[in-house]
């Protein structure tokens, strides 16, 4: 289990989305005392070398770098882990097979080929068995235990190989973005795969899929977020909502009260934009600048008396 997972069991861990590659933003972010940073390469073009610098700089300062990849593709995931990412967020996941492939890329490195396929078949069988044992009672809060991935694989592939894979990947975390109605409908299946660490809720895409685009106060949106939090936490997995819109602090507190153990608050760019907008709004409310009523002649005279 990673150190971030251990910390989240004691109290919610706090992070923000980092979009800027500027070293100045790194210094400002570090001053906030974050537990992790969420670096988004799905919507922001960050070159691979700069991404690696960001990941290693944050990790070296004791802040866990969690990177959202552009697509749920295993080879891209491995590239980012090799570059220093300690957590992966895969966007728009909707199928059990996608989760299995991602677990293989994050938690079973460096296994590939037939050996990896054999591991994933075992995990898929375990996921189906867990789903069949679930009563399907959506109102239940009773815990559901997801089997240990390494316990399952050790019986099949031996202790030495499984221990090597476990130690190599023990500090890595895998999260999936739940951000669509199909994913919401398949949530029990998606969360049943051993090796998955948690869920990042994608509010913008989720609201659109629900038919209430960016209507942040709509009950349909909040009911969906509450359901995702409940079902994820029932399985002992981590969950947070990356939210940078209206009433952000209020809603983050609400979701923590419902069980969220990760706070993914705003982003460097959104916080900068909000602060700048408020400052400019206040400055534009100022009255007429002093001296603006001077005649052209007096202005000229004033200029002529200046010793340059």
Tens digits of residue pLDDT in 135-182: 655 556 789 999 999 889 988 788 999 999 999 999 999 999 999 999
Radius of gyration of the CA atoms of the chain, in A:
24
Dist CA 297 CA 193 (whole Å): 80
- Element at 96 (helix H, strand E): helix 96-107
What pLDDT shows up at residue 286? Answer: 87
* Global pTM exceeds 0.85: yes
The token duo for 273 is 């934009």
End-to-end CA distance of the chain: 70
Contacts of 172 (CB under 8 A, 6+ apart): 2, 81, 86, 87, 88, 106, 107
Partners of 238 in the β-ladder: 198
CB-CB neighbours of 113 under 10 Å: 7
DSSP state, 185?
H
Q: How far apart are CA 80 and CA 59, in angstroms?
A: 14
Q: Could you identify the residue written with the tokens 């969950």?
A: 239
Listed as ranges, residues in the chain with pLDDT below 50 are 296, 298-308
| pLDDT at res. 140 | 66
Tokens linked to 257: 């009260």
DSSP-derived letter for residue 42 is S
Using CB atoms within 10 Å of the CB of residue 236, give its burial: 0 to 12 exposed, 13 to 18 middle, 19+ buried: middle
Q: Which contiguous run of DSSP H or E holds residue 239?
A: strand 238-243
């Amino acid at each position: 289990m990673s150190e971030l997972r251990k910390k989240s069991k004691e109290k919610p861990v706090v992070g923000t989305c980092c979009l800027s590659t500027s070293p100045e933003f790194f210094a400002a972010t570090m001053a906030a005392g974050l537990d992790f940073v969420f670096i988004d390469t799905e919507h922001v073009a960050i070159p691979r070398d700069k991404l690696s610098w960001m990941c290693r700089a944050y990790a070296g300062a004791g802040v866990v770098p969690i990177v959202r990849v552009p697509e749920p593709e295993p080879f891209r995931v491995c590239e980012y882990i090799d570059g220093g990412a300690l957590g992966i967020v895969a966007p728009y996941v909707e199928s059990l097979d996608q989760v299995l492939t991602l677990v293989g890329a994050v938690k079973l490195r460096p296994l590939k080929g037939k050996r990896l396929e054999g591991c994933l078949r075992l995990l898929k069988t375990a996921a189906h068995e867990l789903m069949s044992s679930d009563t399907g009672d959506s109102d239940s809060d009773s815990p559901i235990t997801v089997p240990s991935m390494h316990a399952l694989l050790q019986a099949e592939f031996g202790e030495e190989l499984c221990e090597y894979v476990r130690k190599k990947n023990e500090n890595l975390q895998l999260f999936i973005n739940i951000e669509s109605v199909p994913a919401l409908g398949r949530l029990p299946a998606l969360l049943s795969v051993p090796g998955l660490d948690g869920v990042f809720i994608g509010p913008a895409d989720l609201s659109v899929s629900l038919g209430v685009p960016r209507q942040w106060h709509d009950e349909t949106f909040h009911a969906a977020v509450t359901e995702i939090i409940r079902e994820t936490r029932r399985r002992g997995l981590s969950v947070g909502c990356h939210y940078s819109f209206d009433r952000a602090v209020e809603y983050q507190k609400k979701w923590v009260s419902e069980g969220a153990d990760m706070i993914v608050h705003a982003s460097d760019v959104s916080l900068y934009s909000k602060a700048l907008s408020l400052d400019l709004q206040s400055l534009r409310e100022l009255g007429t600048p002093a001296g603006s009523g001077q005649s052209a002649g007096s202005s000229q005279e004033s200029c002529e008396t200046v010793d340059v």
